[in-house]
Structures are given as structure tokens and as C-alpha cells.
Amino acid sequence: MLFRALMGLTLALAVLAGAAVAAVIDNGPPYTSDQFMVISYERVPDEFKTNLPKWWAKAPKYLKDRILAAPSDHWWPIILCNYQGFRPESNGSDSAATCESNWYKASERGKQQWSADGKYVEPSPACIARNKRTQWGELICD
């Protein structure tokens, strides 16, 4: 009987702990470093989460400032484009703003291809007829 009570209490605490983690409040930029660390666990891929604290500690100030001033759903494109060598001070082909914008738009298009229940959504006949594509041949249905 005591075992069941302890298991029930453990389960209840686990559910409450999960609810507390899921209830991350995102009030928008500007963010603090602490807010970045908490919110980023919902915004970056799982493979990056284990390296995140070390990466954040070593990130240059200009990059931290750029991330903390951006909406949280733009953090991953900023991190990726910086890693790939795009810089915010550039206006040429290595412009960070262009890379981040393109990556974010592609990500949003990818999300639109899936329904809430996890099924693939085919492009509409009108989108296919428009045949608007990215530089890599990906169909754009915006």
C-alpha cells in the first residue's frame, strides 16, 4: 500500500515538473542570457541542446547581442548562419540578414507542409500551377 502511495506521489510530481517545464513564458525581445538558456531548449534541435551551455559561454558578444534582440523563433537561423560564416556587418552574398531570412522562411514553409495530426499536406493545384520555386528548386506556396 505504501509502495502504491509513493508511486502515485512520484508520478504526480513528475507530471507537475513536466508542466512547469512546458510553461516557459516568452514575452519577446529583448531577452536576458538566463531567458535565452531556458527558452532555447524549446527552440533549438535536440542534437544542439547538450552543447548549448558551452557554446553560449564561448559565443562572441556581437552574436549574443544579436540573438537576445531577436524573436526567439529566429534564434536557430541566427546560430546556423553565424556558424556557416555569414556576418551581420556584410551586405553582400555573405550577409547574415539574408541567410537568416531565407532560412526562417524555408522553415516556416516546411511547417506548413504538415497538419496538426502529423500528416503531410500536398501542395495545392494552384501552387503547383504557379511553379514558384527557391534557388534549390523547392516549391514555394506562400
More confident residue, 136 or 14: 136
The answer to whether 39 and 23 have CB atoms below 8 angstroms apart is no
DSSP character at residue 74: G
pLDDT category of residue 63 using cuts at 50, 70 and 90: very high
**Between vectors from CA 126 to CA 120 and to CA 127, what angle results, nearest 5°?**
55
Task: Of 102, 94, 95, 96, give the one whose Cα is nearest residue 67.
Answer: 96
pLDDT of 64 strictly over 60: yes
Q: What is the mean pLDDT of residues 17-27?
A: 58
SS3 of residue 7 by DSSP:
helix
More confident residue, 39 or 124: 39
Q: Where are the domains of the chain?
A: 30-117
Question: What is the pLDDT at residue 127?
Answer: 85
Phi, psi (rounded to 5 degrees) for 87: -120, 145
Q: Mean pLDDT of all residues in the chain?
A: 79
Give pLDDT tens digits for 33-50. 999 999 988 888 888 888
Give pLDDT tens digits for 65-89. 999 999 998 999 999 898 888 888 8
Question: What is the pLDDT at residue 17?
Answer: 41
